């Protein structure tokens, strides 16, 4: 059995050292440099770089060759977080103040833009043309999808009405980049088209499962472990697969009761617990868990068709970790 | 003599048709598609695509081969404008409401991000690897510089104190992308390294001159022609090369008088005229004009060393147009 936790820690150390090196080499206004790297250097598990590096390793690629693509995908992810936090007016993330709170909104917008620009700069400087341009296409395509998913997410009343639309949003906003991480690893490692298809299947499925796991924790997670108050997602009116499929099944009495609490920040703890009970009674949580497990199984089956290797075992463990985590 | 005006119109027509085609092919939330293309389809002279296309034509490249890079550079430019307008809280541009006013700030941020992402997507889909990755590097490098210039521009008290810092800001914010337009044309046309160097010289110099021409019009332009009220830049406290070099030369009495008016939106027309007279009396306007003409001459001399062609004549005319325009 591979030791996922210590390997993740090791990879995180290497990725972070590389990110610090890039920051140190940037010549530009201090405020911009600090703002751009504030969030990425205050935490994060480096899930995407890990998936990328291990996917490349399956095909024998060295860490040296996958590192620039891995760093680039982490910067891409952090660019989206900086801009999302501005849109959502969030004041904290990873336990620290968000970029726009610390540096002001204008500099935070530019900080996100600079990270995004740097993603492509890194790819252009570190790969031979054929590999480099394939990575650019992959990252740009994922970014296009993220923008679409994020738009759905900021206009839920218009774009997230059914659970299918929710899943489309989740694929675009979260799945597409995890998919790109796996495929990019394959591109760096010189995988065949068929193998890239398997990585795509693995990444997209586990990426969607990742979000559904989050959604389940948001409703029934232990607040002592997740660090988020019980029923946070209920009070915030967060439309997740659980809520949408529960709503599709409630009778009109339950729905009326539920909608009085859902999205109402002033709801009492008792009301929130009652709303959660209503969701549970529809079977939506069990069904979402089942759905997540099917995604997990599909992703594992895709991995099984890749060359057997320690790296592949790490990817399988990572998939398990994504599904069975408690925070 | 080539007819710049009608050729610019012709190129604009072709570029705009291509931009419309891209918009029509985008599958995503309506709001995002509309927001992303609102600004770019409400006007603009397509200066950057023109420079790119003509620079490519100097080396015999077809319009077909330069068009994707030309469209990409225009989208890149418009991405920066959408985000700048949010930062500056501007409500109008090109006579229409800005993107964030029409679509709200969250969607406007994403609209800029999508255009930026699409820039690299277009490059990755339309060029062979070697050319494509060179273009990606060029565009990403220009974008890095734009982010730095924009940061200086939003924090002028910290980063724009001397006229040298101002010129650095202008190169980054405006010069770098016009430089990239010219160089990208050369890359598409297969220019030699030496020829790319000449295009770099042409583009960067004319790019800085472009902004200085704007700054001069902002102080002494005819409001009936520019469409902007007299002394707009004075009342807004806009630090330009003219103001910075004038300030470096004023005696303490004039400076005191000037600073009472500069950046004071409530200044009367008489006070503004007096402030302009103070700038004129320092010789800063004449000196800025001289400086701009030197940049122009350098850019023309660089062009003279490129292969003689109709396309080169258009670039020379474009340089003249940039310097001698009255709005």
pLDDT digits (tens, 9 = 90+) for A190-211: 999 999 999 999 999 999 999 9
Query: Helix, strand, or coil here: B96?
Result: strand
Rounded to a whole number of angstroms, the distance from the CA of A124 to the nearest CA of chain B is 5
Nearest CA in chain A to B86: A106
Subunit contact B147:A86, Cβ cutoff 8 A = no
Query: Contact at 8 Å (CB) between B298 and B317?
Result: no
pLDDT tens readout for residues A59-76: 999 999 999 999 999 999
Residues A91 and A101: beta-carbon distance below 8 Å: yes
Q: Shortest CB distance from B120 goes to which of A109, A113, A136?
A: A136
Mean pLDDT over A103-116 rounds to 98
Q: Could you tell me how many CB contacts below 8 A there are between chain A and chain B?
A: 148
CB of B165 less than 8 A from some CB of A = no
The answer to whether residues A145 and A135 touch, using CB atoms and an 8 Å cutoff, is no
pLDDT of residue A72: 98
Flag if B117 and A127 touch (Cβ within 8 Å): no
Confidence at residue B190, expressed as pLDDT on a 0 to 100 scale: 98
Which has the higher per-residue pLDDT, A227 or A45? A45
Q: What is the mean pLDDT of residues A43-54?
A: 97
d(CA A208, nearest CA chain B) in Å: 19
d(CA B211, CA B206): 9
**Strand partners of residue B93:** B96
pLDDT digits (tens, 9 = 90+) for A204-243: 999 999 999 999 998 888 888 877 777 888 998 999 999 9
Asked if B144's CB is within 8 angstroms of A118's CB, the reply is yes
Q: Which residues in chain B have Cβ-Cβ distances shorter than 8 Å to A155?
A: 29, 31, 107
Tell which of A140, A168, A172 to mutate to test the B interface (max B CBs under 10 Å).
A140
State the pLDDT at residue B228: 76
Interface check for A100 against chain B (CB to CB < 8 A): the answer is: no
Name A83's Cβ contacts closer than 8 Å, sequence gap at least 6: A109, A112, A150, B109, B110, B113
Cβ of A120 and B140 within 8 Å?
yes
Does A86 contact chain B (CB < 8 Å)?
yes
Q: What's the confidence (pLDDT) of residue B135?
A: 98
Looking at every residue in chain A, the average pLDDT score rounds to 95
pLDDT score at B207: 97
| Shortest Cα distance, chain A CAs vs residue B151, angstroms | 6
E strands in chain A: 92-93, 96-97
Complex-level ipTM: 0.96
**Residue B92 host element (H or E):** strand B92-93
Q: B220 or A294: which carries more pLDDT confidence? A: A294
β-partners of residue A93 are A96
**Per-residue CA distances from B197 to B56, B167, B177, B184, B185 (Å):** 14, 20, 15, 12, 12
By the CB < 8 Å criterion, does A161 face chain B?
A: no
Pairing between β-strand A96-97 and β-strand B92-93 as defined by DSSP bridges: unpaired
Averaged over successive runs of 10 residues, the pLDDT of chain B (327 residues) comes to 94 98 97 98 96 98 98 98 96 94 98 98 98 98 98 96 95 98 98 98 97 91 79 88 94 95 93 94 95 97 98 98 86
Share of chain A above pLDDT 90, in %: 91
Record: contact B136-A141, CB cut-off 8 A: no
CA geometry: angle at A131 spanning A129 and A133, to 5°? 65
Running DSSP on this structure, what letter comes out for residue A173?
A: I
Are B133 and A137 in contact (CB < 8 Å)? no
Shortest distance, CA B183 to any CA of chain A (angstroms): 16
Within 13 A of B172's CA, how many CA atoms are on the CB side? Answer: 21
| A304-317 confidence digits (pLDDT tens) | 999 999 999 999 99
User: Do B80 and B142 meet the contact criterion of CB atoms below 8 Å apart?
Assistant: no
Mean pLDDT of A74-87: 98
Query: Would an 8 Å CB–CB cutoff place B110 in contact with chain A?
Result: yes
Contacts of A148 in chain B (CB under 8 A): 28-29, 32, 114
Q: Does residue A44 have a pLDDT over 80? A: yes
CATH dotted code for A4-322: 1.10.600.10
A318/chain B closest Cα distance in angstroms: 29
At residue B143, the pLDDT reads: 98
Question: For the structural domain made of B4-324, what CATH number should be given?
Answer: 1.10.600.10
Report the C-alpha gap between B245 and B176 in whole angstroms.
23
Q: What tokens were used for A155? A: 């206009």
Token readout for A58 is 């399956």
Nearest to B147 among A117, A139, A159 (CB): A117
């Amino acid at each position: 059995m591979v030791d996922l936790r210590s390997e993740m820690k090791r990879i995180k150390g290497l990725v972070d050292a590389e990110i610090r090196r890039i920051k140190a080499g940037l010549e530009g206004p201090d405020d911009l440099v600090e703002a751009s790297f504030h969030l990425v250097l205050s935490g994060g598990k480096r899930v995407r770089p890990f998936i990328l590096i291990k996917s490349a390793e399956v095909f024998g690629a060295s860490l040296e060759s996958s590192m620039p693509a891995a760093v680039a995908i982490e910067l891409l992810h952090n660019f989206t977080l900086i801009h999302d936090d501005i849109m959502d007016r969030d004041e904290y993330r990873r336990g620290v103040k968000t970029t726009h709170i610390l540096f002001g909104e204008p500099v935070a917008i530019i900080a996100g833009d600079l990270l995004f620009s740097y993603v492509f700069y890194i790819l252009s400087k570190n790969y031979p043309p054929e590999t480099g341009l394939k990575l650019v296409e992959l990252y740009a395509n994922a970014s296009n999808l993220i923008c679409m998913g994020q738009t759905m997410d900021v206009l839920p009343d218009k774009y997230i009405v059914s659970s299918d639309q929710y899943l489309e949003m989740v694929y675009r906003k979260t799945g597409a980049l995890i998919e790109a991480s796996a495929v990019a690893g394959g591109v760096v490692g010189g995988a065949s088209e068929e193998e890239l298809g398997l990585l795509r299947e693995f990444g997209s499925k586990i990426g969607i499962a990742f979000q559904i796991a989050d959604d389940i924790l948001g409703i029934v997670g232990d607040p002592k472990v997740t660090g988020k108050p019980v029923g946070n997602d209920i009070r915030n009116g967060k439309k997740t697969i659980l809520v949408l499929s529960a709503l599709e099944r409630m009778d009109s009495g339950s729905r009326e009761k539920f909608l009085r609490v859902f999205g109402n920040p002033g709801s009492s703890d008792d009301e929130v617990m009652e709303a959660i009970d209503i969701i549970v009674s529809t079977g939506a949580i069990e069904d979402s868990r089942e759905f997540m497990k099917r995604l997990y199984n599909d992703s594992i089956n895709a991995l099984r068709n890749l060359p057997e290797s320690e790296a592949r075992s790490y990817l399988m463990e990572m998939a398990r970790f994504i599904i069975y985590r408690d925070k």
